[in-house]
Amino acid sequence: MRDARYSTALAAAAVSALLAIPFARANPAPLRPRALASATPVRAVTAPARAVVRAAPRPVVRELGHGQLIEGRCPPSIPRCIALTFDDGPEYRSTPRVLDLLDARGIKATFFVVGHRIDGDDPYHTANRAVLRDIARRGHLIGNHTFHHVELDRLRDNALADEIDRTESLIRQSIGRRSWLLRAPFGALLRQRTVDAVFSRGYTPVYWELDTRDWATPSVQGVIDGFRQALLESPRGGVVLLHDTHWWSVAALPHILAILDRRNADLIAHGEAPYRFVNLDALYRPLGDEAPRGMPLPRRRHHGAD
Ligand SMILES: [Zn+2]
């Protein structure tokens, strides 16, 4: 249904939508089956961490500004990069394990959270909110992934606004500040009014370059193979799509890190630049400054003071 460049094509389509220019991919086909999107039962994580334990630095993560886009590829200034992103949480039964694995390596990641997991005073939602606060406390970025994990392009204006604003309000209540990043469920962000709704609120939409397909392959080996394949197709790396709600994704994470360790050892041995873990703010680009050749610059509206 999609090829390895789909995320890039989709991001280009989003730019095209912003420009109100018809783009080759007219049909925003969902990227993943809805049944796997969220509320997946989580089992105990058993895979041992093979991480090298060292003190986890706490770099200051620069907040992203307005009117930017993150397609998912490494910037020219970084030969190889990896930016880990985790969608559909927070989930108190699985996300903490991800946080521990990342801390053990001093890696900062981004978590795109859905509002329905943190809305309520019962023990489940209260526990998830505590996890969200922990994500922020440990220095990771948090992004909006809508309330119900719905395809935004299909919604009427009121519902569209509610999906974004309700989630934002919950994030703000939990961590005391808003988020500036948004990942549209299924990567579907094509209609003009959806794009307008996202940018008018100051969000930077985030796509991905390496899809582990953990949403389609509910097995640890499947995620590992998916990551290997994605890295083969995008050898410079980029934004990696994972889900902290899937036990198989969490269990695969140490193996993914080990794959990168081995690749880096090989690259260094051959005098080549290794993969660097980066935060998403290393990957954004201002809209308009690098518009595809032959396309008019986007209208800079609702983008704040710039
Ligand atoms: Zn999602």
Residue owning tokens 């397909």: 213
29 domain-assigned: no
105 domain-assigned: yes
Across 12-21, 88-97, 217-226, least confident range: 12-21
Q: Using 50, 70 and 90 to split pLDDT, how confident is the model at 281?
A: confident
Distance 249 CA to ligand 1 centre (A): 13
Which of 118, 83, 102, 20 shows the shortest CA–CA distance to 237? 83
221 domain-assigned: yes
Q: Using 50, 70 and 90 to split pLDDT, how confident is the model at 55?
A: very low
User: For position 280, what pLDDT does the model report?
Assistant: 86
Distance 272 CA to ligand 1 centre (A): 34
216 domain-assigned: yes
Q: Using 50, 70 and 90 to split pLDDT, how confident is the model at 193?
A: confident
Catalytic residue among 243, 244, 246, 281: 243
Across 107-116, 174-183, 194-203, 255-264, least confident range: 194-203
User: For position 43, what pLDDT does the model report?
Assistant: 38
**Residue 5 pLDDT > 90:** no
Is 246 catalytic? The answer is no
DSSP state of 208: -
1 domain-assigned: no
Is 270 catalytic? The answer is no
Give me the mean pLDDT over the 187-195 stretch.
86
**Greatest mean pLDDT among 42-51, 168-177, 185-194:** 168-177
Across 49-58, 171-180, 195-204, least confident range: 49-58
Distance 102 CA to ligand 1 centre (A): 20
**Residue 255 pLDDT > 80:** yes
33 domain-assigned: no
Catalytic residue among 66, 87, 116, 303: 87
Q: Max alpha carbon distance in the chain (Å)?
A: 56
Q: How far is CA 140 from CA 24, 72, 96, 198, 284, in A?
A: 35, 17, 13, 22, 16
β partners of residue 141: 110
Distance 34 CA to ligand 1 centre (A): 9
CATH code: domain of residue 109: 3.20.20.370
User: For position 14, what pLDDT does the model report?
Assistant: 44
For residue range 105-117, list pLDDT tens digits in order: 999 999 999 999 9
Q: Using 50, 70 and 90 to split pLDDT, how confident is the model at 41?
A: very low
Query: Would you say 114 and 146 are in contact if contact means Cβ atoms under 8 Å apart?
Result: yes
Please give the residue range of the domain that contains residue 216. 6-21+68-286
Q: Which residues surround ligand 1, an ion (CB under 5 A)?
A: 87-88, 185
User: For position 44, what pLDDT does the model report?
Assistant: 37
Distance 215 CA to ligand 1 centre (A): 9
38 domain-assigned: no
**Residue 2 pLDDT > 90:** no
Distance 114 CA to ligand 1 centre (A): 8
- The count of domains in the chain is 1
**Residue 215 pLDDT > 50:** yes
In angstroms, the CA 83 to CA 28 distance is: 25
Across 183-187, 190-194, 228-232, least confident range: 190-194
pTM for the model stands at 0.75
In angstroms, the CA 163 to CA 5 distance is: 28
Distance 62 CA to ligand 1 centre (A): 24
Distance 148 CA to ligand 1 centre (A): 10
User: For position 286, what pLDDT does the model report?
Assistant: 61
Distance 40 CA to ligand 1 centre (A): 12
User: For position 225, what pLDDT does the model report?
Assistant: 98
157 domain-assigned: yes
In angstroms, the CA 169 to CA 189 distance is: 21
Higher pLDDT, 189 or 151: 151
DSSP per position, 248-260: HHHHHHHHHHHHH
User: For position 103, what pLDDT does the model report?
Assistant: 97
**Residue 162 pLDDT > 50:** yes
